[in-house]
Structure 1
Amino acid sequence: MEQQASDVIIATRTALSQASALAVQYSFSVIGAIILLFVGWIIARLLHNWAYSGLSRVRGIDETLARFFSNILRYAVLILVFITVLGQFGVQTASIIAAVGAIGLAIGLALQGTLQNIAAGIMLLVLRPFRVGESIETPAVSGTVTEIGLFATELRTADGLYRLAPNSILWNVPVTNYSRERLRRHELSVTLPNEAHIEAAKAKLVEIASGDSRIEQTPAPSAFIAELGTDTTSLTLRYWVATGAWWATTRDMLERVKQTFYAAKPEEAAPPAE
Structure 2
Amino acid sequence: MDKFMTWISNNQELILSYTIKFVVAILILIIGKMIANSVAKLLGKGLTRKGVDGAVISFLSAIVKSVIFIAAILMALSQVGVQTTSFIAILGAAGLAIGLSLQGSLSNMASGVLIITFRPFRAGEYVEAGGVSGTVEEVNIFQTVLKTPDNKVVFVPNAQITGQPITNYSREDTRRVDLLIGVSYDADLHKTKEVLESVLKADDRLLKEPAWNIQVHALNNSSVDFIVRPWVNVGDYWPVYWDLMREIKIALDKNDIGIPYPQMDVHLFRQASQD
Name the TM tier (shorter chain): 0.5 to 0.7
Q: Kindly tell me the number of residue pairs found equivalent between the two proteins.
A: 241
1:196 to 183, 188, 191: 188
Alpha-carbon separation, structure 1, partners of 2:165 and 2:216: 32
2:240 to 234, 249, 261: 249
Alpha-carbon separation, structure 2, partners of 1:195 and 1:51: 66
Matched letter for residue 196 of structure 1: D
Q: 1:231 to 1:76 in 2, by over 3 A?
A: closer
Conserved 8 A contact 1:206-1:222: no
**Runs of 5+ consecutive residues of structure 2 not aligned to the other structure:** 1-9, 259-275
Tell me what 2:135 maps to: 145
Matched letter for residue 46 of structure 2: R
Cα-to-partner distance string for 1:72-114 (whole Å, 9 max, x where unaligned): 231243245346546xx6x654322211212222332333323
Q: CA deviation at 1:54?
A: 3.3
Tell me what 2:64 maps to: 70
Conserved 8 A contact 2:216-2:225: yes
Q: CA deviation at 1:168?
A: 2.2
In the superposition, the TM-score normalised over structure 2's length comes to: 0.65
Q: CA deviation at 1:131?
A: 4.5
Q: Percent identity?
A: 28
1:60 to 39, 46, 53: 53
Tell me what 1:207 maps to: 198
Alpha-carbon separation, structure 2, partners of 1:75 and 1:43: 6
Alpha-carbon separation, structure 2, partners of 1:177 and 1:137: 7
1:237 to 228, 236, 248: 228
Q: 1:172 to 1:68 in 2, by over 3 A?
A: same
Q: If you compute each CA radius of gyration, which structure gives the higher value, 1 or 2?
A: 1
Q: Specify the SS of the correspondent of 1:148.
A: strand
Q: CA deviation at 1:214?
A: 1.4
Alpha-carbon separation, structure 2, partners of 1:256 and 1:74: 60
Q: 1:160 to 1:77 in 2, by over 3 A?
A: closer
Q: Specify the SS of the correspondent of 1:170.
A: helix
**Runs of 5+ consecutive residues of structure 1 not aligned to the other structure:** 1-15, 268-274
Conserved 8 A contact 1:210-1:221: no
Conserved 8 A contact 1:145-1:153: no
Alpha-carbon separation, structure 2, partners of 1:99 and 1:231: 73
Q: 1:165 to 1:48 in 2, by over 3 A?
A: closer
Alpha-carbon separation, structure 2, partners of 1:78 and 1:189: 62
Conserved 8 A contact 1:189-1:234: yes
Equivalent residue runs for 1:1-274 within 5 Å: 49-50=38-39, 52-58=41-47, 59-60=52-53, 62=55, 63-82=57-76, 85=79, 92-125=83-116, 127-138=118-129, 141-145=131-135, 147-148=137-138, 150=140, 151-157=142-148, 163-190=154-181, 191=183, 193=185, 196=188, 198=190, 200-227=191-218, 234-266=225-257
Conserved 8 A contact 2:74-2:84: no
Q: 1:104 to 1:232 in 2, by over 3 A?
A: closer
Using the TM superposition, name which of 155-164 and 171-180 deviates more: 155-164
Alpha-carbon separation, structure 2, partners of 1:52 and 1:39: 19
What is the root-mean-square deviation in Å for CA atoms of aligned residues? 4.3
Conserved 8 A contact 1:135-1:142: no
In the superposition, the TM-score normalised over structure 1's length comes to: 0.65
